[in-house]
Amino acid sequence: MVNIRITSRDEAVIKAISKFRFCLSRQLKVIAGFSSQRTCDRRIKKLRDVGYIERKYVVYGVPGLYFLTKKATQVFTLELVTSHIRIDQINHTICVIDTAIYFLERYHLTLDDFTTERELKSSAGFEKAKHCPDIIFENEQEKYCIEVELSTKRGAAIEKNIRENYLNFDKQIWVVRRGGKKIRDNLVEYGKKYPNISMIDLEEVQRHVKAI
């Protein structure tokens, strides 16, 4: 039977995967503070060998996704563990994790400073469904919410989300593609009514994160 001594970096890997459903190895390298991708991959392999995480190839062209196992749930007493994900959610989740890393670096935060959409929904339990941002956190006594928007919702739907964010947060930051003209135009227009809106290019977020 394979056994390993759990390190603080191992705990960071486990926590990140639990928080976001899955992670890519390049994302775990940054979140857990490994010195190199090779060092990260070797440690991930040990965590796989001991049965705490598993790698799945779900979509052609997308690197392996690392999920937690039932064994990890029991050993680390985790509440949020997902062993699968809908294909249409994969790209969005990857972008959300990259965005989280971007703000970790930008504001010198830790993973514990973030609450994700899945954590918000889990804590709400059986309460009436309401909109939950992708990420929320506090910085310098201000409440932030982050929205990663890869598609264009109907005007009424997106304004509803913007209005809720305006009422509940000091700042709402929308991460959108440079080529997403319609969503960008909508955000500029709604920004006249809800002035706590700002935008960041998804491409800039991903460029920054992949360079770390």
Predicted confidence pLDDT, tens digits, the chain (212 residues): 567 899 999 999 999 999 999 999 999 999 999 999 999 999 999 999 999 999 999 888 899 999 999 999 888 888 766 767 888 899 999 999 999 999 999 999 999 999 999 889 888 665 556 789 999 999 999 999 999 999 876 667 889 999 999 999 999 999 999 998 999 999 999 999 999 999 999 999 999 999 98
DSSP secondary structure letter of residue 56: E
pLDDT the model gives residue 77: 84
pLDDT the model gives residue 209: 95
In contact, 68 and 78? CB cutoff 8 Å: yes
95 token code pair: 């972008």
pLDDT the model gives residue 127: 58
pLDDT the model gives residue 38: 97
In contact, 132 and 121? CB cutoff 8 Å: yes
In contact, 122 and 90? CB cutoff 8 Å: no
In terms of Cβ atoms closer than 10 Å to its own Cβ (0-12, 13-18, 19+), residue 80 is: middle
Residue whose entry in the numeric block shows the structure tokens 């680390």: 76
Phi and psi at 159, nearest 5°, equal -65, -35
Q: Would you tell me how many other CB atoms lie within 10 Å of the CB of residue 37?
A: 13
In terms of Cβ atoms closer than 10 Å to its own Cβ (0-12, 13-18, 19+), residue 97 is: buried
pLDDT the model gives residue 39: 97
65 token code pair: 């996704």
Q: How far apart are the first and last CA of the chain?
A: 36
Nearest residue to 16 via CA among 37, 30, 36, 34: 30
Phi and psi at 66, nearest 5°, equal -100, 120
pLDDT the model gives residue 78: 80
CA distances from 163 to 13, 127, 193, 195 (A): 35, 20, 9, 11
Residue whose entry in the numeric block shows the structure tokens 């706590």: 196
pLDDT the model gives residue 18: 92
160 token code pair: 């509803």
Helices and strands in the chain: count of H runs, count of E runs: 9, 7
pTM (2 d.p.): 0.92
